[in-house]
Structures are given as C-alpha cells and as structure tokens.
A = this chain, B = another copy of it.
Amino acid sequence: MVGVTGGADEPDITALRSAFIELAHCVEPADSAVGRLVERRGAPQTIHMVRGGSTGLRHGEGIGARLGELRAVDAERRAAKAGARIVTRVDSEWPTQLGDLGHEEPFALWVTGAADLRLLALRSVAVVGARACTAYGEEVARGWSAELAAQGWCVVSGGAYGIDAAAHRGALAAGGSSVCVLAGGVDVPYPRAHDALIARIADEGLVISKTPLGESVRRQRFLSRNRIIAAMTRATLVVEAAVRSGTGATARSAHRMNRPVLAVPGPVTSPASAGCHRMIRDAEAILACEPSEVMDLLDFARRAEHEPSTSTVRCARDQLGTRECRVLDAFPSRGMVGPDRLLAGAGLASGDVWAAVGILESAGWIEAADGGWRLVRR
C-alpha cells in the first residue's frame, strides 16, 4: 500500500476518499486553517495529525473530539443503509466547479438518488428565492422551472418553503430532474413538511448535502448550503427576495464566482421583490422577463464552451467516461434500442451497461422510449 502522505506516482484513492469523508465529519469546510493544512500536507496526513493531536492548531483538539473513533468505512456503511452514497473530491462524480468555493469547497457530499451528480450539475440552473414569497413569485418559480426542466435543464434549489419548493415542484411536474441541496443531513430532511417532496426529488433527481447524516440544520449551514448551490450551477435565477436576505447572499456568491445571476422583477409595492430590484439596479443581476431569457443566457454560456448545439441540453462527449462512450456508440442513429441489443452491442457487463445508461440519460444524450432508449435528437 502506498504511504498515506503520497509521493508515489499513483495516489491511493481509497486513502484519499477515506480522509475526505473523515474531514467532512469533523471540519467545517470554511475552516481555512485546516484548508491550508490539507493543501500543504494532504488530506490523509491531516487526518493522521488530527487523530494524533499534532495539527498545531488551537482548535485541533475540538476537531479531534468531533472526529472521535469515526472511520470512513463505517460512515459509508451507514450512508448505504440510509439509501445514500458519499461522493468525495476525488470521485469522478464530483462537480469540479465546486472548486470555485476555494477553502469552502466541501470535502465530501452525501447524495441520495440515481442520477450522476457531476453530469446533472453541468446542465443545471439554480432557482432560488424567499421563503415568505407571494402567490406571484410562486407562480413564476413553478412555471419557469417547468419550462427550464422541459428543455433539459436541471433545477437546483434548497427544498425550503416558498420559492424553493415551487421551483422543485415545477421541474418535477414537467418530468424533469431537480437537485435539492439540504443544509442538514440527507436522512433528516428539512423542513419536515417537505418530507414527501424531498423524497420525490431523490426519486427523480438528487438530494445532496455536505452535512453528515443525522445532523440538523444550523444558521451557518444554510449560508454555506446557499454557496454550494451558487457554485454548483451554471446560473442563478432569483425569483423573489427581500432586501438583505439569504437569497441575496446566494446571488452575491454566484456573482463573485462569475456565474450569471438573473432576477425576476415584480411590483415595486411588493417587499418580496425589493431584493430583486436592488440586484438589478446595482448590476448584480440581469433582469429576466421570461424563462427563454434564462435559457438564452445559459445557451450562450454553453456555446462559449464550444459544446455542440442540441435541441436539449447535454454534456460534451469528452465529459463522459469510456464506459458511457462505449454504450453510447452501441445506439442506432435513429429509432430505439432494447436492453438485449444494447447489452450485445456494448459488449460490457450488464451492471456497467445499466449504470452507463443512467448516466447518459442524466447527461442528456439518451431518453427512455417504450421498452428501451433512443438518442436525443439534436
């Protein structure tokens, strides 16, 4: 086994994964002192120092106490039992754009749902806003999210009351996928009144969190959750927001990370729109009148990355894995393909083929047809 401090040509992925999972349990991602330690010494060595009480950090003892006897292997077992998986910075499913969070990039995410997080995130848009929204805001959030989802965009939000819930519901109603980023553990959905909604999001998309299982929400966790939403997505749409609100903070994060921010105007007599108006006036957000304007901006961002123009949103082929490309090549250019022909054509183990099919669907390359799948036409 390669030494935990690295130095060999091939890094020990297992040791790295374990270290990130353990760091995720005992360190707040915003802890820049630990962040620097991880950068300098690597995650496995950092965890080794935490366990040995030799980090040299004033709060090292507290971190050690939080970690306790926890081992990554147990955490993963517990996650599997709760129907979740842990995705770490070194996993292929990691949304690498979270690196824009700098020292606040999570070490790991708990994920519930079958889709591929990285591929969904690559064609995602955040739809966020006030909990105390108006009927107008709710209608806009639901209607626009449905249109975005119908065009293949994954709607990311925070599962909260108000705009968030309307956005998720709109995306699901249109048969699209949605990602809910929770502030607490994925096994303790918050708010509880959204249990059923959050379960449905996991069925049709993903529910994710950087907070370990069983842990509840806290004010700081809401703020860092908001920044994850901003970093993960291609653009952020603010539907309604009061002046000086959590939503405003999400928008500013997105703006600082050079993600386009769009805001929906409303009556000047509505305090729920005052934050949107402020952002537009201060050029922190672009005024959006209809969902097509959001998509135009997203398409523009996509074209800027030289992706092929398609009728639906899809990830570039070179962002797919070898396995997915092999399965993709087994598809006829027209018409549908059934499971048997696909298995024979791909020449891979059936488990690999079905996993690849799930990812290709997430990535917008194929769609389910009766009894099989077909390529999404450009």
Contact = CB atoms under 8 A, between A and B. Distances in A.
Given A274-B289, A287-B287, A140 B280 contact: no
A290 interface: yes
A276 to B, nearest CB: 8
A30 to B, nearest CB: 33
Contacts of A269: 136, 139-140
From A268, A288, A290, A293, name the one whose CB has the most chain B CB atoms within 10 angstroms.
A268
Copies of chain A in the complex? 2
A277 B266 CA distance: 10
Interface residues of A, number: 21
A273 B267 CA distance: 10
A281 interface: yes
A264 interface: yes
Interface string A270-283: 00011001101100
A286 interface: yes
A95 interface: no
A343 B278 CA distance: 52
A289 B276 CA distance: 10
Interface string A290-311: 1001000000000000000000
A176 interface: no
A269 B356 CA distance: 42
B267 A287 contact: no
A277 B265 CA distance: 8
A343 to B, nearest CB: 48
Contacts of A287: 265, 277, 280-281, 287
Contacts of A290: 268
A267 B287 CA distance: 12
A136 B286 CA distance: 23
A264 B278 CA distance: 12
A267 B267 contact: yes
A280 to B, nearest CB: 5
B268 A289 contact: yes
A300 to B, nearest CB: 14
A257 B273 CA distance: 31
Nearest to A291: B268
Contacts of A267: 136, 265-267
A166 to B, nearest CB: 15
Nearest to A262: B281
A267 B265 CA distance: 6
Interface string A242-275: 0000000000000000000000111111000110
24 contacts: A136-B267, A136-B269, A139-B269, A140-B268, A264-B268, A265-B265, A265-B266, A265-B268, A265-B273, A265-B277, A266-B267, A266-B268, A268-B288, A268-B289, A268-B290, A274-B289, A277-B287, A277-B289, A278-B289, A280-B280, A280-B287, A281-B286, A281-B287, A287-B287
User: Nearest 3 pairs between A and B by C-beta?
Assistant: A265-B265, A281-B287, A277-B289
Interface of A: 136, 139-140, 264-269, 273-274, 277-278, 280-281, 286-290, 293
Given A277-B289, A280-B280, A281-B287, 18 more contacts: A136-B269, A139-B269, A140-B268, A264-B268, A265-B265, A265-B266, A265-B273, A265-B277, A265-B280, A265-B287, A266-B266, A266-B267, A267-B267, A268-B290, A277-B287, A280-B287, A281-B286, A287-B287
